[in-house]
Structure 1
Amino acid sequence: MQSRFIARFIATGAAALLCAGLSFYALTAEATLKPGDPAPDFTTQASLGGKTYTYSLADQLKKGPVVLYFYPAAFTTGCTIEAHEFAEAVDEYKKYGATVIGVSHDNIDTLTKFSVSECRSKFPVAADEDSKIIKAYDAAMPMHESMANRVSYVIAPDGKIIYEYTSLAPDQHVENTLRALKEWAAQHPQQ
């Protein structure tokens, strides 16, 4: 009897660990859009420094590369850490003519506050309440498709994706997108 209980416990525990491992893998799996793919165009409400406006990716790309990052939810621990890191790196992105925008499923009122407190009024955050942008960029959280996974893209002025990085961990997104942008800028000194 006791050995059957132990065997069942071990089997159940192994299954739980396998499920947890598969869930973790699903959450960290790479996004579908890859370098060379066209970046889906979008226009949406965004906030920068507490001021709401209409953001157009096409208009922004006319000015230079865009670092587009998706995050699950404003004011959560990982998303706050990531926003702080992007805010600290904005001047470095500007050296390469690039701008940054964050996108989440949050409403614009929440993002207006987030743009000031966590983004430190350094870059805009955009509302995607209907998750159309998230879905267009294959950036949905597995098993919760209305919420964004943590995915970062670098988009060249020609509208092509030049880099993609997916990881729920907030670290490395800034470092990796900056490195990709530097490599692109070295190959495109005129732009």
Structure 2
Amino acid sequence: MTKADLRRYLQSGRDTLLWKLDGLSEYDVRRPMVPTGTNLLGLVKHVASVESGYFGATFGRPFEEPVPWIDEGAEPNADMWATPEETREQITDLYRRVWAHSDATIEALPLDAVGHVPWWSPEHREVTLHRILIHMIAETDRHAGHADIVRELIDGAAGLRRPDDNLPPADSAWWKSHYDRLEQAAKEAGSTQGR
């Protein structure tokens, strides 16, 4: 797989993560939807933060803007939610600036370029650009999956991206029937576990 292929996969995850915010109110993009507080704008803030480090400090090309919510001594999970003072535009624009910085690093270095991840344990710290690209694709896609579920909980929108959501073409009645069928299968399986 070429560097261009890897970068295309990374960009696909980035784009998916951002479109999960489309059309939602300020409340809904910040709304905690599970007991751990996972929310859409917080996911974008988190991924922007970690990407800035992986393609920045790791390769001696630090991202020049402050990212105080991930500094040592920052409040736990401060990168996973947006304060009322932080706007959606500030966070999404930060993410896009991080992309530009990351893409410049990816373009400038060969896949076998060696870097050091300062926050990893010493025995795992040395990495290549190839490894970090794979790591960030996985990280971004993992959180895009979280965003997909959170968005579906908010308003039912689901899928990979618009207009190709990669879901079967079906109306709400079909989805309700499908849901009911899965619920029934789960109940049946659950009732046989104790036998």
- Give the shorter-chain TM-score range: under 0.3
Higher strand share: 1
Higher helix share: 2
Q: TM-score, normalised by structure 1?
A: 0.28
Q: TM-score, normalised by structure 2?
A: 0.27
